Structure 1
């Protein structure tokens, strides 16, 4: 579904559920572009008898509405409703200019310059300027901010140095040349950099708002965005309401008057709301579909699957016994019957994963290992001997609240008991607590799903470069792996770069700080009246163009 194009793989699939199809445009990394008007293809707006409202559900309280802090999907989906970056995606599936009206890049892809549109406004009426982007990126790189995605800005000259306390903010390669000209200096050739500009960590921030109140992002009264919608109501752990922004530069293409979002942890409840007409969507990217409901929905011909690059896995806390031992991690991985989980629980026909990087990114489609219960028992015994263990210690598998995740946890528990003779306890918490626990290494082993931020293998590998990295939940680090990642940043030959990344993933899958289970395929059902809702090419919700047909 993705393709390797010279040195860059573009985000090439956009799923618009109005038509139920995808489009595959050409590579978006151009030397120069001068278009100043978005190339959207809009449907005719239906006649309205009252406010047009989309009713939506999410699985829990978004941890933050701060674009620089967000690391998980619910927060990012909400942020994309009321903030906007230099680029975004249009209805044709193409990366298009958003706050930027044009851009140029140097032939070697080490310098990008964006012109900011002069009609872009913050929701309080202030102009959006290049200074807002420079402020946001340097603020996100500031170690005090503790941005989990700060490493996404390491492509900038001086970005890593500033974030790790070895450099200064003024040396970071982002500069407002004037109010409407933003310049990036990159430390090495980065053809996919424009694609990164649609990611929340590179969104602008309203400096006065951020600096005036440390809790600005948790209250609708103090949150000021620049996107198509305004956060009007936030009843924490209950609901959020977004309304159409009157100051948004492209407001004529925004048809929804309001988005009403309910926070529903239980997938059965969320599906019941959809079936009862209380919400317009069931399943991804709103909530999950209950495992028991999928066969019936499939039989009725209503099941849809969003095929975005991503991988679901078990992660191991490598900072403490027993999972600080490679052989024990390998044993737990080889003991998993992936197809059984896919057939009996996920039921969406997704492929089993025997590598971490999605096959669409082209490193090693056949994977690096296979299930082998006999070998798993041998490795477990050898690992226990190396740790001086006569009995396997009590360990707990953690997961966040979800019907499917619960069934997966029970299946894994049963497989490890049968294939390894190990009893694993299960621990379930709401998403925010679970997220905090794994980020702080307060777990033994648990569930982890990673969806692509941009369509290049480095996005699945560089998070493990440093054990202190914001999304390195296994807290694993390997000197040779790190050396290969650093080497890939400098390599300009596509074949050589691919081999370097292949070598890196080979190390990752031998060390096994995480055990891949399946590649992503997210099921959902929808109200047929919902048109032009976009699931981003790499996953996530985008409400800008959606409308409700009569």
Structure 2
């Protein structure tokens, strides 16, 4: 029986696959204030080099993320911990951060304020441990096969730059006897059509990203598998009008224009005729898939019809002073060239032209350039998307606060900031949901983001590959996977 999987992954999403980063088993105790968490680590967890995974590794790793010298992009995700923000921003010290290894197997964490979703947060990669002795010995440990260590079911044995990664079963993994695969071979490519052709020829067992044009047939014949994905594909608007001409700035900063653009989009048509991956047409910013305190899906509120409302869109545009699009300047819609984003942007541009009478110029950039352009706010309207870091509405709301480093729209609303801040520490689940719904109300009124659809994940998986698991947050797990009859 074949006991390894060969697969193709697109290089742009490599960081979403954490094959070798396992999480320690934990037992939880909470004090009456819900401010202190005590984690008990399993004693048989080891790093791939044989070292024991200890609470000291966790303390070191979390403070390393917060260290200003590390310049970690996701350091803000740890600001829930006491003293974390002060240390990261230079006004506090590492000793004041509320993370302490009580002994080798006990980690104590103190929070700034009650955070009901803190346990969800600890499953996110920036909370993963690193081997303190390995990191301190070599600052470049993570870029070399000989020094790279992990603590999950597989360990890296080869890293061929821009070509492939090879992982084999980790003999030091505590549950190694349950791992059925001996090896994982990952080939890195940049063209999804080439990846699909290799998969179709039977030379690869799995592909991570599939061509849009093949999704319908692949799902029908069983070679593609659709997984849930907690995320929203949307357009982001530079609501400040920064770096735009005066006439373009005028329309970007007008809420009624943004509302009109939103209502002029037929999401049903885009999902049915363009993306074809079983995506759910959006009717809110926060996607479906998060349970609310009332037992319903948090995203049960319909802010707009997914099919659009052209009459209402025309009325809003007229109220903004651009009846039938007269006098409306040409706006530029920016997207990254990888994948099928161009087809989606073309469909949106056509709808805005047909339904509102406005002209749209399409512009594309390579991924790294595109990322920086959005960050620098040197765009007008751009394609965007967000997959949750954890299963809670807050992962979609806190990115739009005025101080968030992920707020590429330049959106600033004091009431919104206050609602989000209050919701973070609210322990009553019903009250907390109410606060977050009110925050989303503001977001969907101001429209710095125009939701298009809720993501799904479609993977190419050969029928003989069994039990590959894909989480709604996008993580792929091979610990239970196996090859059946090949």
Which residue matches 1:514?
A: 449
Normalised to the residue count of structure 2, the TM-score between the two structures is 0.87
Which residue matches 2:338?
A: 401
Deviations 1:251-286 (A, max 9, x none): 22222222111222222222212111121124xxx1
Contact 1:468/1:475 (8 A) holds in 2: no
Quote the Cα distance in structure 1 between the aligned partners of 2:134 and 2:329. Answer: 52
Deviations 1:423-456 (A, max 9, x none): 3333334444433443443433222222222221
Gaps of 5+ in 2: 291-296
1:425 to 332, 355, 361: 361
Deviations 1:275-316 (A, max 9, x none): 11121124xxx11x2222223234435553212322111112
Deviation at 1:391, TM superposition (A): 5.3
Normalised to the residue count of structure 1, the TM-score between the two structures is 0.78
1:76 to 16, 26, 30: 16
Question: Are 1:60 and 2:3 counterparts?
Answer: no
**Structure 1 residues 211, 513: closer, same or farther in 2, change over 3 A?**
farther
Question: Are 1:312 and 2:233 counterparts?
Answer: yes
Question: Are 1:365 and 2:300 counterparts?
Answer: yes
SS in 2 for 1:308: strand
Quote the Cα distance in structure 2 between the aligned partners of 1:382 and 1:441. Answer: 27
Contact 1:233/1:240 (8 A) holds in 2: yes
Which residue matches 1:206?
A: 131
SS in 2 for 1:121: coil
**Structure 1 residues 349, 533: closer, same or farther in 2, change over 3 A?**
closer
**Structure 1 residues 537, 298: closer, same or farther in 2, change over 3 A?**
closer
Counterparts of 1:215-254 in structure 2 under 5 Å? Answer: 215-254=140-179
SS in 2 for 1:144: coil
Contact 1:85/1:200 (8 A) holds in 2: no
SS in 1 for 2:444: helix
Quote the Cα distance in structure 2 between the aligned partners of 1:130 and 1:110. Answer: 19
SS in 2 for 1:422: coil
Question: Are 1:441 and 2:353 counterparts?
Answer: no
Over the aligned positions, Cα root-mean-square deviation in angstroms equals 2.6
SS in 2 for 1:194: helix
Deviations 1:346-405 (A, max 9, x none): 2244332121112333345232234333444554566688xxx96515524212401x32
SS in 2 for 1:170: helix
**Structure 1 residues 410, 238: closer, same or farther in 2, change over 3 A?**
farther
Question: Are 1:461 and 2:397 counterparts?
Answer: yes
Quote the Cα distance in structure 1 between the aligned partners of 2:142 and 2:316. Answer: 48
Question: Are 1:109 and 2:34 counterparts?
Answer: yes
1:487 to 410, 413, 422: 422
Which residue matches 2:409?
A: 474
Counterparts of 1:25-44 in structure 2 under 5 Å? Answer: none
**Structure 1 residues 467, 354: closer, same or farther in 2, change over 3 A?**
farther
Contact 1:331/1:377 (8 A) holds in 2: yes
Quote the Cα distance in structure 2 between the aligned partners of 1:141 and 1:236. Answer: 29
Which residue matches 2:468?
A: 533
Quote the Cα distance in structure 1 between the aligned partners of 2:168 and 2:278. Answer: 37
Deviation at 1:213, TM superposition (A): 4.7
Deviates more, 1:120-129 or 1:503-512: 120-129
Quote the Cα distance in structure 1 between the aligned partners of 2:158 and 2:353. Answer: 47
Contact 2:230/2:387 (8 A) holds in 1: yes
Quote the Cα distance in structure 2 between the aligned partners of 1:303 and 1:263. Answer: 19
Which residue matches 2:293?
A: none
Contact 2:115/2:427 (8 A) holds in 1: no
Which residue matches 1:127?
A: 52
- Number of equivalenced pairs: 466
Which residue matches 1:337?
A: 266
Gaps of 5+ in 1: 1-47, 62-72, 87-96
Counterparts of 1:290-301 in structure 2 under 5 Å? Answer: 290-300=211-221
Which residue matches 2:294?
A: none
SS in 2 for 1:143: coil
Deviates more, 1:510-519 or 1:252-261: 252-261
Deviation at 1:129, TM superposition (A): 1.3
Contact 2:227/2:472 (8 A) holds in 1: no
